[in-house]
Amino acid sequence: MGIRAIGFELSLSQNVQEIMADCSRFTTKYIGEMVDYSAHLLSLHRKTLSQNYCPYYYRMSVKKEVVESLRQEYSSVSLSEKDVAKDPVKQFGKWFKEAMDAGVNEANAMTLATTSIDRKPSARIVLMKGYEERGFIFYSNYLSAKGKEMAKNPVVALVFFWPELERQIRIEGTVEKLTKEESEKYFHSRPKGSQIGAVVSPQSQVIEGRAGLEKSWEENETRYANRDVPKPAYWGGYVVRPQVVEFWQGRPSRLHDRIVYKKADKQSWKIVRLAP
């Protein structure tokens, strides 16, 4: 006899450890799928309930009112060097939670700036997938344009902008690759379609057209229909270890607050205020 639960058949005769392992794999996969899915739903919601398509609903939209009230509330919010956390990652965590609570769209999207060996800067958006004591984590293709730049010059800048809260966070630091094991773990938590996407896309290279990419994706979907997609060696994570972190809070009359953390030594940070 078996219990059917969202595509999983759990046999009652399996021992408890096996069931726990199944549940753990299922939960990881399910959360990964839901995170991707909710991002799609949110953007769909934004499009369909936009001012052009549903003007009445848009005006009445609770979300809009919430955001407006946040704006009023936040323009009177201040940021003081006396109140901030001693550690910038802790302060980041506090602000990130507030951004999530406020429903900021793609609050984890950040601009990543790199430089070429001849000092030419370039910037693009990537998604932050974690922040912890050692720094800020994102994933990419190691052979992409940015990947090659970071290999040659492992110094980067990150910028978050959360307009709903009138907040900006700027981070400067050194970048290094995560371990293979860390990248593997994250890679396999992603939806299978995204895993195949990473396999078939030679990111940043010129390609003939879209058709070849789609054909390759379909071939690989069939190839890996009944087995795990191996993480390509050229795909993985990075951690940005911060050296300087600035928290910017919008204030009336352009007298914004700018609180900057500068790494003093291994353990401590110097906190200063800059003129807006």
Q: Has 258 been annotated as catalytic?
A: no
Q: Among residues 117, 94, 75, 82, which one has the least CA distance to residue 254?
A: 75
| Closest separation in Å from C-beta 148 to ligand FMN | 8
User: Which amino acid is it at 43?
Assistant: S
Judged by CB under 6 A, how many residues of this single chain contact ligand FMN? 16
177 binds ligand FMN (CB under 6 A): no
Site string for ligand FMN, 104-123 (x = CB under 6 A): --x--x------------x-
Task: Name which of residues 180 to 239 contact ligand FMN (CB under 6 A).
Answer: 203-204
Nearer to ligand FMN, 93 or 130 (CB): 130
Nearer to ligand FMN, 91 or 144 (CB): 144
Judged by CB under 6 A, the stretch of 44-52, 75-83, 85-93, 143-151 that binds ligand FMN is: 143-151
**Angle of CA points 43, 47, 52, to nearest 5°:** 160
Judged by CB under 6 A, the stretch of 15-23, 44-52, 133-141, 206-214 that binds ligand FMN is: 133-141
Phi/psi region, residue 193 (left: phi>0; alpha: psi -120 to 50; beta: rest), is: alpha
Q: Among residues 113, 110, 231, which one has the least CA distance to residue 179?
A: 231
139 binds ligand FMN (CB under 6 A): yes
The runs of H, that is alpha helices, within the chain are: 16-48, 55-60, 62-75, 88-101, 145-152, 180-189, 192-200, 210-223
Find tokens 């001849």 and name the residue. Answer: 118
Spot the catalytic one: 170, 254, 258, 273: 254
Nearer to ligand FMN, 14 or 153 (CB): 153
Q: State whether residue 143 is helix, strand or coil.
A: coil
Q: Which residues pair with 139 in a beta bridge?
A: 237
Nearer to ligand FMN, 144 or 249 (CB): 144
The answer to whether 119 touches 179, Cβ cutoff 8 Å, is: no
Site string for ligand FMN, 87-106 (x = CB under 6 A): -------------------x
Among 145, 151, 155, 244, binds ligand FMN (CB under 6 A): 145
144 binds ligand FMN (CB under 6 A): yes
How far apart are alpha carbons 142 and 78 in whole angstroms? 40
Kind plus residue range of the DSSP H or E element containing 77: none
How far apart are alpha carbons 130 and 136 in whole angstroms? 6
Q: What residues act catalytically?
A: 254
Binding site for ligand FMN (CB under 6 A): 106, 109, 122, 124-127, 138-141, 144-146, 203-204
